[in-house]
Chain A
Amino acid sequence: MNAPAPYLHWGFILISLPNLILIGVMLLLFALALIAPFPHGGNHHGADDDE
């Protein structure tokens, strides 16, 4: 934990591995939020839209 983080370097891009993992996790969370079913979503839909 006290060692410096490994860095990845492609051209002008320089990023630490922890930061890259964090960005990947955030993208995954965002994608999951878009596709994961929301609890009681169906009930609200029916109630509010009068369908």
Chain B
Amino acid sequence: MSEAADAAGGAPGSTGGPQAGGSPALEPGWTAAVRDRLSRRLTVEELLPTRQPSYVGSWVYVFGVVTIAALVWVVASGCVLAFMGSAWWHTSSLGHFVNSVHFWSVQMFFIFMVLHLWGQYWGAGWRDGRAATWMVGVVIFLFSIVTAFTGYLVQQNFDSQWIAVNAKDAVNATGLGGFFNVLNFGQMYGLHVMLLPIGVTILVVFHILQVRSRGVVRPIGDPYVPEQPGAGGQLP
């Protein structure tokens, strides 16, 4: 933690004026306030740690990373599909392959996201100030379901038409039919290739920053170690 951050630590978000006790004042403006907050909450050492606590040496902690790896493949293959179009992915052998990579990487994404969810649920990953991390993970899960659903709707084959016609009544029953028409290919395609994946990606990046900010939660039953600001109280 820098001296400037230390000095500003007593009044996060303050935007100017001398502070009591004669400590240096934070620069005015929201830019300085955000910079100060980020410098205190997320140091480079926390972003790219070279050591982890001993309890991270478990395959359970690999599930989240594999989920991210699957997401990279989903986005990469999705970009190729978006460039080439439905005629290509339905008629050429390379198109079939990339389409399959997209489909199966989504399967991997969901499988390992659920395994990651199980690990965090049974390990109570929301402890010690990590409730927001857990909640963002839940929102990612929900966003991902909608993204995958719109993906099924834009396959441009009989399967997608069957799903869309059946889903129409279900979506109407939820009251969302006034906003989303699953039979509208353009709307579903736009949501699937633009808004939803961008939303999922931004949320995943934020989720990772949250995890890096506080470190991996200690196992249940581990003796409590007081957390130190900036180090999460977990790294030696």
Among candidates B53, B58, B62, B63, residue contacting A48 with C-beta atoms closer than 8 Å: B53
Contact of B54 with A49 in the complex, beta carbons under 8 Å: yes
Of A29, A32, A50, the most chain B CB neighbours within 10 A belong to A29
Secondary structure class of chain B's binding surface, majority of residues = helix
What 1/0 flags go to B27-67 for Cβ under 8 Å of A?
A: 00000000000000000000000011110111110110000
- Residues in B with CB closer than 8 Å to A50 are 236
**A13 is an interface residue with CB less than 8 A from chain B:** no
Interface residues on B, range: 10 to 19
**B97 is an interface residue with CB less than 8 A from chain A:** no
- Asked if A33 meets B111 with Cβ closer than 8 Å, knowing A48-B53, A49-B54, the reply is no
Interface residues of A in 28-49 (CB under 8 A from B): 29-30, 32-34, 36, 38, 40-41, 44-45, 47-49
Contact of A33 with B59 in the complex, beta carbons under 8 Å: yes
Among candidates B52, B62, B63, residue contacting A44 with C-beta atoms closer than 8 Å: B52
**A1 is an interface residue with CB less than 8 A from chain B:** no
What 1/0 flags go to A19-31 for Cβ under 8 Å of B?
A: 0001000100110
Of A22, A30, A49, the most chain B CB neighbours within 10 A belong to A30
A17–B59 alpha-carbon span in the complex (Å): 28
A45–B62 alpha-carbon span in the complex (Å): 17
Listed in ascending order, the chain B residues whose CB lies under 8 Å from chain A are 51-54, 56-60, 62-63, 111, 114-115, 118-119, 236
